[in-house]
Amino acid sequence: RKAIADGSDMICSDALFALASLCSLSTANVQTETSLVVETIQKVLSDVSFGNDCKSISALAGCAIVGQVPGLTSFTPLAHQLVKKEVSLSVVKVLNETASNDSEELKCRDSATIGLGVLCAMKSSIRRVRKNRLVFEKTKQIDRGVDIEAIIQARDGSVLESILHEIQALLRMKSQHSHEDAAATNNKLSVLFSSLELIAMPGSFSRVIEMALSTTSRNDAEVKTSSVSLLVSQLKSR
């Protein structure tokens, strides 16, 4: 940190990159150290007295403060959970200014451009991680929270048992959002729900309907209609 504060060219850039890579590990000082790194990056990239090698490393340090820089241990860059949006925007701004500055040396501009590419990859990986986490949570809810066999015991080999097994499989597919034909899945689920209208189901079966509705898009009226019809039929049968 003393080298960064003193601003001593290559020593500064090496220390800057090291601090940028490690500051996310210290939750107590992360905001203070992040501010120091961002301010120093802005100073180095805007000061003509610093050499190209120093500026190049400083550009990569900007990526390291936002997330993991791809290398030997990480091929998919991920953003740090504690980094603030303002920090990311500040790094993007200074790298963009450097990359588009014709007065800068080519090596420095190339490093800033590479840095912008790494940040774009981080943004894509964040979306992918969030999507995978959402799919995992929904799948876990079905596997753990809605076990149809625990709700109702059908006779082995009966038509009812086949219907319930098919509903369980369709709900798992809907939760994953990865099946190709969502319309066909919703159509099957609607038909199966309709076939249960004449059968007195236990009250806990409403959890199955709730899960079906929670994984159904707003524009899909078919599953919603069949779910309501099934609920109404169960009320009438009591």
CB of 108 closer than 8 Å to CB of 55? yes
The arithmetic mean of pLDDT across residues 172-200, rounded, is 79
Residue 217's pLDDT is what? 74
Q: Please give the structure tokens belonging to residue 33.
A: 């150290």
- What is the mean predicted confidence (pLDDT) over 174-194? 77
What residues contact residue 13 under an 8 Å CB cut-off, 6+ apart? 44, 50, 53, 54, 55, 57, 58, 61
- Mean pLDDT for 42-66 is 81
Average pLDDT over residues 142-153: 63
Non-local CB neighbours of 58 within 8 Å, separated by 6+ positions: 13, 16, 17, 40, 41, 44, 45, 50
Contact 111, 90 (CB under 8 A): no
Min mean pLDDT across 58-62, 85-89, 125-129, 162-166 is at 125-129
Q: What is the mean pLDDT of the chain?
A: 76
Q: Mind listing the pLDDT tens digit for each residue in 5-38?
A: 454 555 566 777 777 777 767 666 777 778 888 8
Residue 117 pLDDT class (50, 70, 90 cuts) = confident
In this predicted structure, what is the pLDDT of residue 175?
67
pLDDT at 92 > cutoff 70:
yes
**pLDDT range class, residue 178, cuts 50, 70, 90:** low
pLDDT band at 72 (very low <50, low <70, confident <90, very high): very low
The SS3 call for residue 79 is: strand
User: Do the Cβ atoms of 16 and 61 come closer than 8 Å?
Assistant: yes
Residue 139 has pLDDT above 60, yes or no: no
CB 231 within 8 A of CB 209: yes
How far, in Å, are 10, 70, 92, 226 from residue 14 at the CA level?
Answer: 6, 17, 20, 64
Per-residue CA distances from 4 to 13, 26, 48, 54, 181 (Å):
8, 18, 17, 12, 56
Name the more confident of 47 and 82.
47
Asked whether the whole model's pTM tops 0.85, one would answer no
